[in-house]
Amino acid sequence: MPPSDSSTYYRKGFGLKAEVQDTLAADYTGRLVDLLRARAFTLDAGPVTIRLAREFGFCYGVERAVEYAYQTRAKFPDRRISLAGEIIHNPHVNTKLRDMGIVFLSRGETGFDYAHVRADDVVILPAFGVTIADFETLREIGCVVVDTTCGSVLNVWKRVEHYAKDGFTSLIHGKYYHEETRATASQVERYPGGTYLVVRDLAQARDVCEYIEGKGLSREAFLEKYRAQASPQFDPAVHLRRIGVANQTTMLARESLAIGEEVGRAMARARGEEYRAANFRTFDTICSATQDRQDAVNELLREPLDVMLVLGGYNSSNTISLAALCAERVPTFHVADATCVDPARGAIRHLPPGEREEVETEGWLAATGPVRVGLTAGASTPNNKIGEVVARVLATRGVDPASIR
């Protein structure tokens, strides 16, 4: 990682918050969301009651990343500015940055394509962070680097780095292809022999548990199944003897905790409690914003709701986790933005939990009688986009959003 005092490395912005604040407010503030907040997160409009979870939308880390991107454009109005991937997983925010002339770098199997980046360019690092290899490439180029990596992600990096230093394999609960998980896994490279294995869910973690206990997949079958999710030198026969659990910060918190518990118990059953105490570590590294949004949704789900809307990008991990929670209790519709809600036809386009393809459902909202709609949004979703969804929900039942005062 470049030193924080480098003349080409910036992690704390440029002191231009006041200069970009009005633009940010104009781009992302939502009137209907302000009304919901002012009215105890409840909006009663004729037959429709909308209940908003008390923690929703932009978190501090996302706000910071977006603000720093705006500050960067203000600081370097005449320089070519590139962004390593997406700043966050929200298409509207990323479109705004493209409209500001920021070029999005594509990512291949070995990292981002910096072929056209020059020493007098500026490169913004996203909230997810980038890999050690990306940092090294940018250092060699010598360009200005603006690092918006979320502090919660940095905390996980430190944990994984300590695991590697002490000879533990990092077992990471996450999506191995996700930008954050790739960046986190790369931290083991700081120490020779550092290893990692990424597990997507509890089912994959149970493969690990069974292997530790000498049952389930053979060594060869385990390697075949998890090769893409592990460090190149990973060998389950060697590297599942000392394990430290970490996670992508936006995963479902209860599943991350359950994975740690099950792996720890498997090690105790296989080699005894004393061995487990010396050779197993686990810490809850779900970020506070992710946890707060999941807690707020669980609280809202205690109320009687007819449907639940979850707003956020379909590639947003924290939004997917929120939708999975809601779907356990009430009919749930994960929508990317307001265009998914069609008031004229009474239809909605949405991504069902666990699926990869968007579907359309007609009659998703009762056509007559009172209806209670729960609403939340992932940490990458700005207030104006939440307000647009509220407006379309109201219009579906014939309520003019402009009449809400």
Residues designated catalytic: 180
Give the amino acid at 287: C
Q: CB under 8 Å, gap of 24 or more: what pairs does 46-49 form? A: 46/397, 46/398, 46/399, 47/368, 47/369, 47/370, 47/371, 47/397, 47/399, 48/370, 48/371, 48/373, 48/393, 48/394, 48/397, 48/399, 49/370, 49/371, 49/372, 49/373
Q: Which tokens sit at 311?
A: 């707003």
Helix (H, G, I), strand (E, B) or coil at 237: helix
Contact 404/32 with Cβ under 8 angstroms?
Answer: yes
Q: Which tokens sit at 193?
A: 């022999």
Residue 32 CA, distance from chain mean position: 25
Q: What's the rounded Cα separation, in Å, for the pair 24 and 9?
A: 24
Give the amino acid at 331: P
Going by C-alpha positions, the residue among 320, 342, 344 that lies closest to residue 332 is: 320
